[in-house]
Amino acid sequence: RVLFRSPFIVKKKVLDAAFIAVILYGCESWFSAGLKKVESLYMGALKALLGVRISTANDTCLVELGYPRLSDLVKNKQKEFF
């Protein structure tokens, strides 16, 4: 509950430091895994951060926050790993 009353910048730091790090842990080894379920979590968290409806377009949220698509993020992490 306290997190919902926090300023946007604090929520964004928590999202970056904790949540995204946890859901992407070990993504370097996700060679042929489907990203549907993880992408759902990722986009849900971004939409919660912005305080928009679930029906809001994903691209709009990504542009607003300056975040990459999940598939691009995973590919970049895999590229850095190898």
How many Å apart are CA 45 and CA 2, to the nearest integer? Answer: 16
Is residue 50 scored above 70 in pLDDT? yes
Q: pLDDT exceeding 70 applies to what percent of the chain?
A: 94
User: What's the pLDDT at 53?
Assistant: 93
Its pTM stands at 0.81
Using the CB atoms, write b or e for 43-63: b if 16+ within 10 Å.
Answer: beebbebbeeeeeeeeeebbe
Q: Which amino acid is at 29?
A: S
User: What's the pLDDT at 20?
Assistant: 83
